[in-house]
Amino acid sequence: MLCILCTGECRFAVKIEANSNDITEHPHDDKPRPYLCTVCDKLFTKKDYLKKHEQIHSVDKLYSCSQCEKTFASHHYMRVHMNVHGSKYECTDCGKCFQNNKLLTVHRRSHSGEKPFECTVCSKRFTQSASLVAHSRIHSGEKPYKCLVCDMAFSKIGNLNEHIRFHTGDKPYKCHLCGKAFRRSDSLNSHMSVHTGVKLYKCHMCDKAFSWPGDRTVHMRVHTGDKPFKCHLCDRAFIRSEHIKKHMRVHTGDKLYKCSLCDKSFTRSNNLKKHEREIHT
């Protein structure tokens, strides 16, 4: 079985059925993980981490949480778990608790939109320094993380682990309210807004808020004027990747939208709709 690791992005107080008792490691740091758990195929950077992790597969879980029904194989895991119920390092926006102030500070950037780490090549900004380091591989072309199933390769190990789930069909992040499952932890966190109505990703320049972090990222370009998707054949630039994909049909001549009532084809869906409205109605 191929190893599938969580991306380390889950920061919200929702019930997640994957790796809930596991020790804390940070897959986004791109460190080599040569130590394999033979029970669940998870990888670790150090042998000691593997030994601690293996305790979660023990039948006897002697440490019980006093505030919920969870039990744990060691006092360490229970102590880490207790942060869910309360801590002095609590996010005032969403109520999530953290082990230390450093983790809380990084988490708060998900609400404020602050990105203090800037790429010196393309000026793209990031909330964490490790994300900037991984991003820099885009400019060098380095993709050290290769899929063993197909020929795809990735600059980040987290992206590889997410990709592998497309081969396995694994969706380890499950909503405890409706049962819907997701490949990514951040997808589950965003999904929770369907039940709560809370939009956690707020724009710090206007009063808009979003259920998905990617939607806020795109929205911020309205304020900054950033158009990162540039056409290499003309001087047009776009806010969204799907916009440049549509634009490229101007150059390639591809007409993907075919009329079902005649032999006409169009490069854009709205042109097809206009044609059907004016010609066939």
pLDDT in tens, 29-49: 556 666 666 555 567 777 777
Amino acid letter for position 25:
E
Q: What is the pLDDT of residue 11?
A: 32
d(CA 66, CA 233): 63
d(CA 136, CA 140): 7
Q: What is the pLDDT of residue 84?
A: 65
d(CA 209, CA 239): 18
For residue 203, pLDDT beyond 80? yes
For residue 108, pLDDT beyond 60? yes
Query: Could you count the other beta carbons within 10 Å of the beta carbon of residue 251?
Result: 11
Longest pairwise C-alpha distance within the chain:
73
Q: How confident is the model at residue 21 (pLDDT cuts 50, 70, 90)?
A: very low
Indicate the DSSP class of residue 219: H
Q: What is the pLDDT of residue 31?
A: 60
Query: What tens digit of pLDDT does each residue of 226-279 get?
Result: 888 899 889 899 988 888 888 888 888 888 888 988 988 887 788 888 998 898
CA 25 to chain centre: 16
Q: How confident is the model at residue 5 (pLDDT cuts 50, 70, 90)?
A: very low
Q: What is the pLDDT of residue 36?
A: 66
Contact 51, 39 (CB under 8 A): no
Q: What is the pLDDT of residue 9?
A: 36
For residue 182, pLDDT beyond 80? yes
d(CA 217, CA 24): 27
Mean pLDDT, residues 139-161 taken together = 83
Outline where the chain has alpha helix (H).
Answer: 47-54, 75-81, 101-112, 129-140, 157-168, 185-191, 193-196, 213-224, 241-252, 269-279
Q: What is the pLDDT of residue 83?
A: 67
Q: What is the pLDDT of residue 33?
A: 61
- In the chain, the domains with their CATH numbers are 27-224 (3.30.160.60), 229-279 (3.30.160.60)
Question: Cα dihedral sign for 28, 31, 35, 41?
Answer: positive
Query: What tens digit of pLDDT does each residue of 157-179 get?
Result: 888 888 888 888 888 888 888 88
For residue 72, pLDDT beyond 60? yes
Phi, psi (5° rounding) for residue 47? -65, -35
Query: What tens digit of pLDDT does each residue of 131-143 get?
Result: 888 788 878 878 8
Inter-residue long-range contacts of 209-218, CB under 8 Å, 24+ positions, other chains counted: 213/110, 213/186, 216/113
Q: How confident is the model at residue 4 (pLDDT cuts 50, 70, 90)?
A: very low
Q: What is the pLDDT of residue 16?
A: 30
Mean pLDDT, residues 12-37 taken together = 47
For residue 12, pLDDT beyond 70? no
- Vertex 31, ends 29 and 37: CA angle to 5°? 110
* Structure token pair of residue 16: 């997640």
Q: What is the pLDDT of residue 58?
A: 55
Alpha-carbon torsion angle 214, 217, 219, 224, nearest 10: -170
pLDDT, averaged across the chain: 76
